[in-house]
């Protein structure tokens, strides 16, 4: 494997372009899966329930994985400006990623696996005639391969960060809290936090996946279901949260190019990211509030951290974004507008999450479409908007571009459709429409039917943004 050091120049590397191109295409494909599912729930498409659950499983794991790959493109590109990264590890990650995707898709669409992306034990080993153990093994083995690739990515990031800064503590800026001098860049701080939490999360995910793979073929080796659920949610929840922590680096690095104001690191910024490093590892129990056998202290921790985990980094990033824009004569184009939109989406998406993290509400709302409303708002208008902004930025050779009527139409169609689409999920949840149901009662159909119209708007506008950007990414690569 070629482990040559990555150049610290501003030129976009080949691996970043490939990551960005794959991310754009797969995001669009996952949106199409979402549209099909909502149309099925609205009885607008005659999809069989078993196929619906296969699509649901592919959509869930696909969005988690591609948000991770898209966020990785952002982190790798900008972190490489401050530390010396070796491109071979990015290519190795991509190889494991693609191999894992092949296994996952084979397990789902050839083997019929449809246990949702969370693969909660013991469902994968109890397919009830819908899928066999080999299909479950292909799915979980594929997820494991994707995790191995991402682990290589973060280990290389850790090596490069420690080589440059000497320790994680210095890369996190702890010395700056005392001396007030020589603060690391915001990108390095965010990348260090993501590296730490994802190395821990992926290793935990590898443990439970290996345990469940063994259990598939040696069922006598049983697993405690509550332990399995804790490990799965710690792994999955940390990883999906980390995607926006990687993607937000685009805001730190690109937005100052439009405002002419550097993104400054202050002591509260350092404290916020350090606090997030701990809280994101301990917030996942809010997904287990209905598990009465869970230790009481974990329920209490999940309740408290649900309120606090989203505040530090988001609050400071939001206020800093507004401060950076204020009276800056910012140049608006599709990239800068998507970046500002993403901060709104992140902020708005946290609100229904915090509401659902309240025990009294959670008991009623957690198994309804309220929860997909939260994470579609958070992902579509937050993380995905950041990734689309980054893709557009590198497609335009890291320069501002025009903002004519076409670009404004794409932006406002995407923003309004995505917001309305997520709002329909929240309204459905408020009406107690259950999530993960392929067939809806007649009283629920109109929610899905209206949501489908907005989903179509998301797909069309995202397609316009992505296809337009692909030309800018692919053409220079061919010329080079």
Residue 96 · residue 145 · CB < 8 Å: yes
Residue 479 to residue 473: CA distance in whole angstroms? 11
pTM score = 0.94
Tokens 């708005």 found at: 348
Is residue 3 in a domain?
no
Q: What was the pLDDT predicted at 82?
A: 97
| Continuous H helices in 357-404 | 359-365, 370-378, 385-395
Query: What is the domain count for the chain?
Result: 1
Is residue 46 in a domain?
yes
Q: What residues contact 187, with CB distance under 8 A and at least 6 apart?
A: 75, 78, 79, 81, 82, 249, 252, 253
Give the pLDDT of the chain (480 residues) as one tens digit per residue: 434 444 444 588 899 999 999 999 999 999 999 999 999 999 999 999 999 999 999 999 999 999 999 999 999 999 999 999 999 999 999 999 999 999 999 999 999 999 999 999 999 999 999 999 999 999 999 999 999 999 999 999 999 999 999 999 999 999 999 999 999 999 999 999 999 999 999 999 999 999 999 999 999 999 999 999 999 999 999 999 999 999 999 999 999 999 999 999 999 999 999 999 999 999 999 888 888 899 999 988 888 888 888 788 888 999 999 999 999 999 999 999 999 999 999 999 999 988 888 888 888 999 999 999 999 999 999 999 999 999 999 999 999 998 999 999 999 999 999 999 999 999 999 999 999 999 999 999 999 999 999 999 999 999 999 999 998 888 754 544
Dihedral (Cα; 114, 235, 367, 353), 10-degree rounding: -140
Residue 186 to residue 273: CA distance in whole angstroms? 10
Q: What was the pLDDT predicted at 476?
A: 57
Is residue 2 in a domain?
no
Q: What was the pLDDT predicted at 362?
A: 86
Q: What is the chain's percent helix, strand, coil content, to nearest 5?
A: 75, 0, 25
Residue 185 · residue 223 · CB < 8 Å: no
Is residue 143 in a domain?
yes
Q: What was the pLDDT predicted at 307?
A: 85
Residue 138: C-alpha distances to residues 216, 245, 289, 417, 461 (Å): 11, 30, 30, 36, 34
For 9, phi then psi, to 5°, come to: -70, 170
Q: What was the pLDDT predicted at 9?
A: 45
Q: What residues contact 55, with CB distance under 8 A and at least 6 apart?
A: 33, 36, 37, 47
Nearest to 313 by CA among 261, 357, 350: 350
Residue 257 to residue 330: CA distance in whole angstroms? 9
Provide the residue range defining the domain that includes 323: 14-479
Is residue 5 in a domain?
no
**Cis amide prior to 239 (ω within 30 degrees):** no
Is residue 4 in a domain?
no
Q: What was the pLDDT predicted at 201?
A: 98
Is residue 80 in a domain?
yes
> In degrees, to the nearest 5, what angle opens at C-alpha 370 toward C-alphas 367 and 372?
90
Is residue 298 in a domain?
yes
Secondary structure class of 434 (helix, strand, coil): strand
Tokens 């809806």 found at: 440
Tokens for 202, please give them.
């992926």
The CATH number assigned to the domain holding 202 equals: 1.20.210.10
Nearest to 386 by CA among 357, 331, 346: 346
């Amino acid at each position: 494997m070629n482990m040559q050091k990555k150049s610290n120049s501003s030129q976009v590397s080949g691996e970043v372009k490939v990551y960005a191109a794959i991310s754009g295409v797969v995001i669009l494909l996952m949106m199409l899966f979402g549209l099909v599912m909502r149309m099925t729930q609205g009885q607008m498409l005659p999809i069989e329930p078993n196929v619906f659950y296969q699509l649901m499983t592919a959509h869930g794991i696909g969005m988690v994985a591609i948000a991770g790959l898209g966020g990785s493109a952002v982190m790798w590109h900008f972190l490489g400006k401050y530390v010396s990264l070796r491109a071979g590890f990015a290519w190795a990650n991509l190889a494991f990623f693609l191999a894992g995707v092949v296994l996952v898709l084979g397990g789902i669409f050839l083997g019929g696996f449809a246990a949702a992306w969370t693969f909660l034990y013991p469902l994968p080993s109890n397919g009830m005639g819908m899928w066999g153990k080999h299909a479950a093994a292909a799915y979980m083995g594929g997820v494991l391969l994707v995790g191995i690739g991402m682990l290589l990515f973060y280990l290389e990031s850790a090596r490069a960060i420690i080589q440059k800064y000497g320790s994680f503590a210095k890369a996190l800026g702890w010395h700056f809290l005392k001396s007030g001098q020589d603060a690391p860049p915001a990108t390095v701080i965010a990348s260090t936090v993501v590296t730490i939490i994802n190395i821990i999360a992926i290793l935990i995910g590898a443990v439970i996946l290996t345990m469940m793979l063994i259990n598939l073929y040696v069922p006598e080796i049983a697993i405690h279901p509550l332990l399995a659920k804790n490990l799965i949610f710690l792994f999955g929840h940390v990883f999906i949260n980390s995607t926006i922590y990687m993607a937000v680096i685009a805001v730190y690095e690109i937005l100052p190019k439009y405002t002419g104001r550097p993104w400054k690191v202050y002591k509260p910024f350092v404290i916020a990211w350090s606090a997030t490093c701990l809280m994101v590892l301990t917030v996942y129990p809010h997904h287990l509030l209905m598990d009465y056998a869970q230790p009481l202290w974990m329920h209490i921790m999940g309740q408290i951290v649900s309120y606090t985990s989203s505040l530090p980094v988001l609050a400071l990033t939001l206020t800093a974004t507004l401060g950076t824009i204020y009276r800056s004569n910012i140049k608006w184009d599709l990239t800068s507008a998507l970046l500002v939109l993403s901060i709104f989406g992140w902020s708005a998406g946290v609100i229904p999450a915090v509401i659902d993290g309240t025990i009294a509400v959670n008991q009623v709302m957690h198994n309804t479409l309220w929860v997909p409303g939260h994470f579609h708002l958070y992902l579509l208008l937050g993380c995905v908007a950041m990734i689309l902004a980054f893709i557009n930025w590198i497609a335009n050779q890291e320069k501002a571009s025009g903002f004519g009527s076409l670009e404004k139409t794409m932006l406002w169609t995407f923003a309004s459709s995505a917001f309305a689409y997520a709002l329909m999920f929240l309204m459905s949840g408020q009406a107690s429409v259950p999530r993960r149901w392929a067939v809806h009662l007649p009283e629920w159909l109109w929610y899905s039917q209206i949501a489908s119209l907005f989903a179509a708007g998301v797909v069309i506008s995202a397609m316009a943004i992505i296809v337009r950007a692909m030309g800018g990414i692919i053409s220079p690569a061919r010329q080079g």
